[in-house]
Amino acid sequence: MTSALQLPPVGAGLPSLDLGRDALLLDIDGTIIDIAPTPEAVVVPETLKLSLSRLREELSGALALISGRTLGAIDELFTPLRFTAAADHAAEVRLEPGGDVKHCAAPLTPAEKAAFAPIAKLDSRLRIEDKVYTLAIHYRLVPELGDTVIAAMQDAAAKLHENLRVLSGKAVVEVKRPGFNKGTGLREIMQHPPFAGRRPVFFGDDVTDEDALAMLPKFSGLGISVGQLLPGAARQVSSPAEVRRWLAELVAGKI
């Protein structure tokens, strides 16, 4: 395999990757795996695990996952593998696959969580997810309630008179404290070996990935959108399947 890997024929938006100088940072849902009706229903192909494991070796360890999922959920998805990761919107950062976890935020209080709990009772198909540092309500099974859920989350946050941020993603609304996001997670990872000094190449698909895209200029990085074109992304590809194919062809030496 050569050091500089070229574009696959079907992905004009896919970058070249210099194994000795680049770092690869990947969102998960909607970026490298397909979105499912519920977070637990997603499927991680074994071929993807193999691609990520081998590519991490080729990058001398400079591969990380940046996700809104908790670290425990990430590890469960990719078992038996573990990765450097910024999890729960970077409330949890693990700089080494087997290393300690750095907690970068204060958990939401029981009172704060209780203020949002009634929203999930609007419809039995809504799903509330307590991620300790954030609280999410998923409405993928009842998309017509999306605007109602978003408005209710914003109203509940305002009534708390707390400094909370409401994030709207793909069929999910989350509440969190300010001061941590996927951008701060990317920055933290890029300051430590084996990432330090490399160019970050980040893939994301949703508005919550915009913070990571906004951080890339600090490291002369490259951002790629999956699906919709996000602000700060220099390139765009159509789907997670296209990203998985690119990863597989990288490790197979086909490109």
Cite the DSSP H helix spans in the chain: 46-58, 71-77, 110-116, 146-160, 182-190, 210-215, 240-252
The two beta strands, 101-103 and 127-130, are unpaired
d(CA 117, CA 94): 30
Whether the pTM exceeds 0.75: the reply is yes
Q: Which residues of the chain have pLDDT under 50?
A: 1-11
Centre a 10 Å sphere on the Cβ of residue 74 and count the other Cβ atoms it contains. Answer: 23
**Where residue 127 sits, what CATH number does that domain have?**
3.90.1070.10
pLDDT value, residue 226: 96
Q: What is the per-residue burial (b if ≥16 Cβ within 10 Å, else e) of 202-234?
A: bbbbbebbbbbbbbbeebebbbbbbbeebebbe
Same domain, 223 and 195: yes
Name the nearest CA neighbour of 44 among 10, 1, 75: 75
Same domain, 92 and 212: yes
Same domain, 14 and 126: no
């997603």: which residue's tokens?
42
Same domain, 78 and 133: no
Tell me how many domains the chain contains. Answer: 2
Same domain, 145 and 211: no
Point out the residues that are catalytic. Answer: 27
Amino acid code (one letter) for 65: L
pLDDT value, residue 11: 39
pLDDT value, residue 16: 81
List the domain range (segments joined by +) for residue 149. 110-176
Same domain, 172 and 198: no
**Where residue 206 sits, what CATH number does that domain have?**
3.40.50.1000
């998309």: which residue's tokens?
143
